[in-house]
Structure formats: structure tokens, C-alpha cells
Structure 1
């Protein structure tokens, strides 16, 4: 389980993963060696499994985001999964229970690019696509209790 200091460290890192060790230690009320040890233990326990960056897709030329529900045709599950993995415009994908097997997030430059990608999948799966208008809740930490 996490103690209060672990939770504080995770909150600080979630707000700014680029924070220096010195700043992290100060904000958490620890010495730099103690903060470093806490980070190491969080990584060893698998609580922290990486540090990442956040980019603005529109600034990279991808103004459209789409959520695609994908239901492979019989016998096509593994082929569709591989196709999703090999298509870089799919930036996230979850294998789920229910009628659909995959729920994926895509970034595309325009509707024509979306159609081209979905056409490749259409031979092997049914898709249902929604265009993202906004994201009122960005990726965030779950409650740290």
C-alpha cells in the first residue's frame, strides 16, 4: 500500500514529471536522498512503471481524434489485433468484454485519412466511430487511498 509520502510524490510527479529530484524532495518535505530512495522503491514495486511526455496532437498535425469500437469477424480476432498494433494512428487500444472486442483511440490528419485506415479494417471487422469533440477529463491518477 501507499503511505502519505508515496501519494504526495505521485501527485507531484503527475503534475510535472520533469520536476527535479531536488524540487520533488522539497515539495514532499524530504531530503534528496530520501526522495530518491522513495522513487526507487516505487519503481521496484511496479507502482511507477515509466515516465512519459504529453504532446498536443493538433500541433503535430493531427487535429482529429476518434474513438473506434471494433468487432472482428469470426476467426479474425488476432489478425485485427495485429492490424491495430501495426497502425501508428491508433495511439491507444483496449481489449474489452461485451459486443466489441477492442476500443481504440486514433489520431488522424483529416476524414480522408480516417476513412483510408478504417477501410483496411472493414474487410475483417465491423467498426463504430465517434469523433472526439473535447476531453473534459484528461488522463489522471485514480484516487490514491
Structure 2
């Protein structure tokens, strides 16, 4: 059994099965989840509440289909602000509508941003907002592979 938190909280096989089931379908009913993990509905509900209360589960999210929304391209942009522009770049990225996720990182670059864009020209326009303040390195995402949590 793997350690989950610094306070020595551990997940048992039912917790793991419940987390995997929710990861596959966060909208599943308590009844459906309870059947999948072999618990009664009230027992399953209590497990979920405990996992939320302890912070193991921090939320239930909606996953959007970028293409269905008209964004034909997704890109990752590594951003290295020029000297003195760190906070300006950070604010620009936070306000940029195309940026759906932005990580502040260590290393040579300061940020890695995931952008939804509708064309290469849209990408050029978006990058032109950043390049006066920072060096960028852009990669177009060809496909996304998603792995279930490894418990």
C-alpha cells in the first residue's frame, strides 16, 4: 500500500477503486459507484465524503472538447521572460483567454502554458502578445493520451 500524504494516511483497495471509478466517470451515481466498488450506497457515500474531507478528492471537473468548441489546435508554449518582465508576463498569461492552464515552473523557462487556438494565424497573433516580453518555444499537440491514476 502506497503512502498518500505526509500524515501517513493510506488508501485501501476500495478507496483506490472508488477514485478510479470517479476518474472514469465523475457523474456516476452513488448507487453505480457502490456497485463498482462493492459497498452499500451509504458506505460509498461516506467514503467519498471522507476522501473529500481529507483533500484526496479536491473537486469534480467538466472536461471540455476543444474541437467541439472550435479550437482546432492545442499548443504548449514554454515561456522565459526577459529580465525585469517576470511579473508582466505572469499577469499577461493569467489574463490570456487562450491559456487554459499555465504552470509556473523551475528551470530554464518560467512558465509552460497550454493554449487552445483555432488556427496557425491565431497562434501567431497570440504569440505576438508574449514575444515583446519573453522568449517562447512552441509545440503543437498532436494527440493527448490520458492515463488512469496509478495507485
TM-score (ref. length: structure 2): 0.90
Pairwise CA distance, 1:133:
1.4
Query: 64, 69, 81: which is aligned to 2:90?
Result: 81
TM-score by length of 1: 0.94
The residue that corresponds to 2:48 in the other structure is: 39
Backbone CA RMSD of aligned residues: 1.0
Three-state SS of the structure 2 residue aligned to 1:60 is coil
Number of equivalenced pairs: 142
1:5 aligns with 2:23: no
CA offsets per residue over residues 3-53 of structure 1, 9 Å max, x none? 111101001001111100111111111111111110000001111000012
Q: Does the 8 A contact of 2:20 with 2:149 survive in 1?
A: no
Is 1:142 matched up with 2:149? yes
Secondary structure at 1:23 match in 2: helix
Runs of 4+ residues over 4 Å off in structure 1: none
CA apart distance, 1:2: 0.8
Matching residue of 1:105? 114
Q: Distance in 1 between matches of 2:39 and 2:31?
A: 9
Which whole-Å CA distance do the structure 2 matches of 1:105 and 1:33 have between them? 39
Task: Give the aligned partner of residue 28 of structure 1.
Answer: 37
Helix, strand or coil for the counterpart of 1:25?
helix
Q: Which has the higher helix share?
A: 1
**Partners of 1:41 and 1:8 in 2: CA distance:** 15
